[in-house]
């Protein structure tokens, strides 16, 4: 098993590069992720490989990439996607009628299941003449390559892809399933480290920032939420993972429930908003949003 000193070197590296916490007890994970890289580099074990990391910047980047946790699935948790279709989309179709375009940020997109799940819902629900761009970002270059390739194994497809959508949106290529070109053309990719200042961008109508804050310490979560707030349109929406919240972290959000999910909206009098520019609080959609303290 990896030595204590080398584990601590790797944990510091991961934290410095991605802000992800890698606490004692995760030695097995580090060992499992780095062993294939050690073998590929010709090192006898992970400890020798970590010695290499101390002086080899390119190998360090490969190691960090391999250590990111990319767990994801299609339509993950279902309820956020239901809220997207039933609450957010009807609202945006009214308020964006002048430009007939939506910009959606899939921050920490992993291998793209979140981005392409959204594409399918948009394809099924956007009226003719409307367009949408899903801006898929992640710190991991290899994940972004996967998003661009848009190819998934059968095991990955089994994780949440309904048969009807498999038939409508995928083609079998060898052992994999390739997502339709019309969905791929809706997605752009870019490497964005959430822990660093974001590159310039316009504001997004919807931000999916799901299942990534859990890996960060409190100050990092707070800082990211504050900076994300500036990137969400004043009448836009933020969705977090089911175990994540802004509560007690960042008070620049209004929390509203839609079915089983909490939707976050920038507070009109928050640091990046003006009450005058704020959206009306009442949303006339099939599902009613309810202000919540949760
Ligand atoms: C568990 S996956 C979540 C994927 C997807 N959002 C979902 O909910 O299924 C977490 C993703 O966060 C990315 N990540 C970790 N640290 C990051 C950072 N500092 N900036 C951007 N992405 C990061 C990882 O590379 C990984 O792909």
Q: Let me know if residue 72 belongs to a domain.
A: no
pLDDT tens digit at each of 294 positions of the chain: 899 999 999 999 999 999 999 999 999 999 999 999 999 999 999 999 999 999 999 999 999 999 999 999 999 999 999 999 999 999 999 999 999 999 999 999 999 999 999 999 999 999 999 999 999 999 999 999 999 999 999 999 999 999 999 999 999 999 999 999 999 999 999 999 999 999 999 999 999 999 999 999 999 999 999 999 999 999 999 999 999 999 989 999 999 999 899 999 999 887 776 543 444 333 334 344 555 543
Mutate to test the pocket of ligand 1, among 108, 190, 216, 224 (most ligand atoms within 8 A of CB): 108
Shared domain check, 142 and 35: no
Sheet holding 151-153, edge to edge: 151-153, 176-179, 170-173
Please report the pLDDT score of residue 245 as a whole number. Answer: 92
Please report the pLDDT score of residue 34 as a whole number. Answer: 98
Shared domain check, 86 and 58: no
Ligand 1 atom closest to residue 72's alpha carbon, by position in its atom list: 9
Q: Give the Å distance between the CA of 210 and the centre of ligand 1.
A: 8
Q: Let me know if residue 222 belongs to a domain.
A: yes
Q: Give the Å distance between the CA of 137 and the centre of ligand 1.
A: 9
**Bridging pattern class, strands 253-258 and 261-266:** antiparallel
CATH number at residue 59: 1.10.155
Ligand 1 atom closest to residue 76's alpha carbon, by position in its atom list: 9
Q: Give the Å distance between the CA of 127 and the centre of ligand 1.
A: 31
Q: Give the Å distance between the CA of 267 and the centre of ligand 1.
A: 25
Whether the model clears a pTM of 0.75, i.e. scores above it, the answer is: yes
Q: Let me know if residue 90 belongs to a domain.
A: yes
Q: Give the Å distance between the CA of 105 and the centre of ligand 1.
A: 13
Ligand 1 atom closest to residue 71's alpha carbon, by position in its atom list: 1
- Contact between 136 and 188 under an 8 Å Cβ cutoff? The reply is yes
CATH number at residue 165: 3.40.50.150
In 3-state terms, what secondary structure has residue 283?
Answer: coil
Q: Read off the DSSP letter of residue 273.
A: -
Please report the pLDDT score of residue 270 as a whole number. Answer: 78
Q: Give the Å distance between the CA of 275 and the centre of ligand 1.
A: 33
Q: Give the Å distance between the CA of 8 and the centre of ligand 1.
A: 22
**Length reported for the chain:** 294
Mutate to test the pocket of ligand 1, among 139, 143, 240, 261 (most ligand atoms within 8 A of CB): 139
Q: For residue 35, what are the domain limits?
A: 4-67
Please report the pLDDT score of residue 143 as a whole number. Answer: 98
Shared domain check, 141 and 277: yes
CA–CA dist 84, 126 (Å, integer):
12
For tokens 């316009």, what's the residue? 202
Locate 186 and state its tokens.
């809706």
Shared domain check, 88 and 62: no
Which of 46, 67, 88 is the last residue in one of the domains? Answer: 67
Q: Let me know if residue 17 belongs to a domain.
A: yes
Give how many domains the chain has, as a whole number. Answer: 2
Shared domain check, 145 and 91: yes
Shared domain check, 88 and 57: no
Residues with CB under 6 A from ligand 1: 18-20, 68-72, 76, 108, 110, 114, 138-140, 143, 193-195, 210-212, 215, 241
Query: What pairs with residue 238 in β-bridges?
Result: 207, 264
Ligand 1 atom closest to residue 17's alpha carbon, by position in its atom list: 19
CA–CA dist 288, 257 (Å, integer):
8
Ligand 1 atom closest to residue 241's alpha carbon, by position in its atom list: 8
Please report the pLDDT score of residue 274 as a whole number. Answer: 56
Please report the pLDDT score of residue 290 as a whole number. Answer: 52
Which of 28, 43, 67 is the last residue in one of the domains? Answer: 67
Shared domain check, 45 and 170: no
Q: Let me know if residue 74 belongs to a domain.
A: no
Shared domain check, 156 and 276: yes
CA–CA dist 111, 32 (Å, integer):
20
Ligand 1 atom closest to residue 111's alpha carbon, by position in its atom list: 27
Q: Let me know if residue 86 belongs to a domain.
A: yes
Please report the pLDDT score of residue 214 as a whole number. Answer: 97
Shared domain check, 138 and 93: yes
Contacts of 145 (CB under 8 A, 6+ apart): none
CA–CA dist 44, 184 (Å, integer):
41
Q: Let me know if residue 254 belongs to a domain.
A: yes
Shared domain check, 254 and 207: yes
Q: Give the Å distance between the CA of 69 and the centre of ligand 1.
A: 7
Shared domain check, 160 and 29: no
Locate 250 and state its tokens.
């960042």
Q: Let me know if residue 146 belongs to a domain.
A: yes
Shared domain check, 84 and 37: no
């Amino acid at each position: 098993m990896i030595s204590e000193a080398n584990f601590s070197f790797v944990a510091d590296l991961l934290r410095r590069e991605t802000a992800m916490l890698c606490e004692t007890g995760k030695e097995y994970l580090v060992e499992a992720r780095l062993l294939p890289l050690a073998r590929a580099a010709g090192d006898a074990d992970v400890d020798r490989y970590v010695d290499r990391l101390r002086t080899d910047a390119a190998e360090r980047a490969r190691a960090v990439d391999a250590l990111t946790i990319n767990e994801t699935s299609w339509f993950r948790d279902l309820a956020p996607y239901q809220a997207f279709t039933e609450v957010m989309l009807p609202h945006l179709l009214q308020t964006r009628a002048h430009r007939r375009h939506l910009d959606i940020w899939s921050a920490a997109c992993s291998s793209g299941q979140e981005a392409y799940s959204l594409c399918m819902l948009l394809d099924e629900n956007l009226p003719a003449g409307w367009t949408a761009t899903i801006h898929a970002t992640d710190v991991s270059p290899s994940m972004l390559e996967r998003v661009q390739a848009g190819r998934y194994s059968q095991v990955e497809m089994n994780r949440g892809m309904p048969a009807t959508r498999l038939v409508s949106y995928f083609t079998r290529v060898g052992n994999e399933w390739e997502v339709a070109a019309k969905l791929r053309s809706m997605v752009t990719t870019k490497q964005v480290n959430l822990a660093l200042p974001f590159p310039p961008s316009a504001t997004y109508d919807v931000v999916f920032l799901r299942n990534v804050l859990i890996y960060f310490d409190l100050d990092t979560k707070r800082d990211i939420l504050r900076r994300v707030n500036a990137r969400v349109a004043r009448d836009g929406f933020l969705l977090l993972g089911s175990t994540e919240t802004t509560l007690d972290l960042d008070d620049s959000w209004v929390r509203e429930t839609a079915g089983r999910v909490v939707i976050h909206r920038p507070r009109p009098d928050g640091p990046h908003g003006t009450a005058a520019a704020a959206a009306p609080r009442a949303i006339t959609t099939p599902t009613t949003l309810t202000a919540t303290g949760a």
